[in-house]
Each structure stands twice: as C-alpha cells, then as structure tokens.
Amino acid sequence: QRCWKVLIRSPPAPMAQEEYTPDGPLAREIAANLPYFPYKKIDRFYDIGGLLKQPALFDKACEALAARYRGQQIDAIGAFDARGFLFTPVAIKLGVPLFMLRKGGKMPNAISGKGYTTEYDSKDGLNIQRDAIKPNDRVLLIDDLIATGGTLCAGIELVHALGGTVVECACLVELKALGGDAKVKAAGGHGCWALVSESVLTVPGQLVEGYVDDGEGH
C-alpha cells in the first residue's frame, strides 16, 4: 500500500518591530538591491526590478509593510497603477480586499479625479471603481515610491469622494527631499510611512556602453 507524506509548512514567525524600522538593517538590505539609473531626465531613478530578482527579500519587504498595519483595522488597500500593484501580497498577508487606482479608460464603473503633477510631468486624473470601498472604510494606500506626493494625493481625493478615510499611505521608498509627506498630510492622508529613504540608496546601476535615457512619462 502506497503511503503519501504530507509536508505542512508552518506560518512565518511575526516580524519584530526592529526589522521594519525605516532605514534599519532590512531596509539597507533592500536598498542594496535598488540600483539607480539616469532615467526620465532624473539623475537617480530607483529601479525596483533589482529587488524583484530576490523573491525572498521582496517577500520580507511586503511583510514589513504588512507588519506595520496589523491590528489597525484596515478595511481595504488601494494600490496605484502600475508599480503599486506589485504590493498585492501586503493585502493578502493582512487578509483585506485590494482595489486599483488606475489611469483613465482602464476600468468600468469608475469615477475620475482631477489632474495632478509628479516629479516627471502633469497627469490626467486617476480612476477608482465606484464599489471599491464603502463609506467610513479605513483605507491604506500603497505605492512603490513617494517623491512629490502628487500621485498619493490624487488617490486620497478619490477615497474621500467615496466616503472613505485614508489611515495612512505606505511606500517602499521615500525621497524625503521632495517633501511629499507634507503634501499627503495636507490632503488628509495622515502622512506617508516608508521603509527606505534616499539616505541609504547608494548603489548605482551598471550602465552599458551607449546607454540612452529613453524614459517616458507613465
């Protein structure tokens, strides 16, 4: 008679708070995998593709984001088009619904916000689906990086339009010199928490001979 062995993997141990301290040991390990390139006419464009090549470390990054918000009664997470979608695992780890904040013409049953500006250029308003959240929902907004805060503020506007409250915004990286956190607070987003700042992002990308900055707005 054939006997099958079943392996049951135990859940990971809870992350200690010091592991998700901004610019702490985990943040520095992540920063070592976020090289910068001259791109979109910006001297230092941080490439999250380096982190995605390290699945175990990327999982730790998502766990650090999730750990901050456990026990805070988050009802839904809003992720921004497009790199914010990479952080869907945070919603899975917290066991809460995720909704998308997208460019116009990408989703049915949506409302549009006002135009906004980023460190790159001016943008048309973002869209949110009408049933993404309910009135009085406590919402966490998540993206890969905060610079000037324009994108996050556009998302806050849409959450407020549907009657929700933005508990906080969360990003993997914050470029503090650009003052985005203050703009998020002024927009009613209660600030932006980030794991990594530009002070520990020191790894230049390796430029091939003939490298060309061919970046466009997104």
Does 119 participate in catalysis according to the annotation? Answer: yes
Choosing from 83, 102, 198, 209, which is the catalytic residue?
83
> Of 19, 29, 44, 119, which residue is the catalytic one?
119
pLDDT > 80? residue 2: no
Provide the pLDDT for residue 15: 65
Taking only the tens place, the pLDDT of each residue in 158-217 is 999 999 999 999 999 999 999 999 999 999 999 999 999 999 999 999 999 999 999 875
Helix or strand or coil: residue 55? helix
Res 25: pLDDT: 96
Helix (H) or strand (E) holding 174: strand 165-174
Active site annotation includes 198: no
Provide the strand spans (E) within 73-148. 76-80, 98-101, 110-112, 116-117, 122-123, 127-129, 138-146
Q: What is the mean pLDDT of the chain?
A: 91
Residues 95-123: tens digit of each pLDDT: 999 999 999 999 999 999 988 777 656 77
**pLDDT for the residue numbered 121:** 62
User: Which of 162 and 11 is assigned the larger pLDDT?
Assistant: 162
Q: What is the pTM assigned to this prediction?
A: 0.90
Q: Please compute the mean of the pLDDT values over residues 31-57 and round it to a whole number.
A: 95
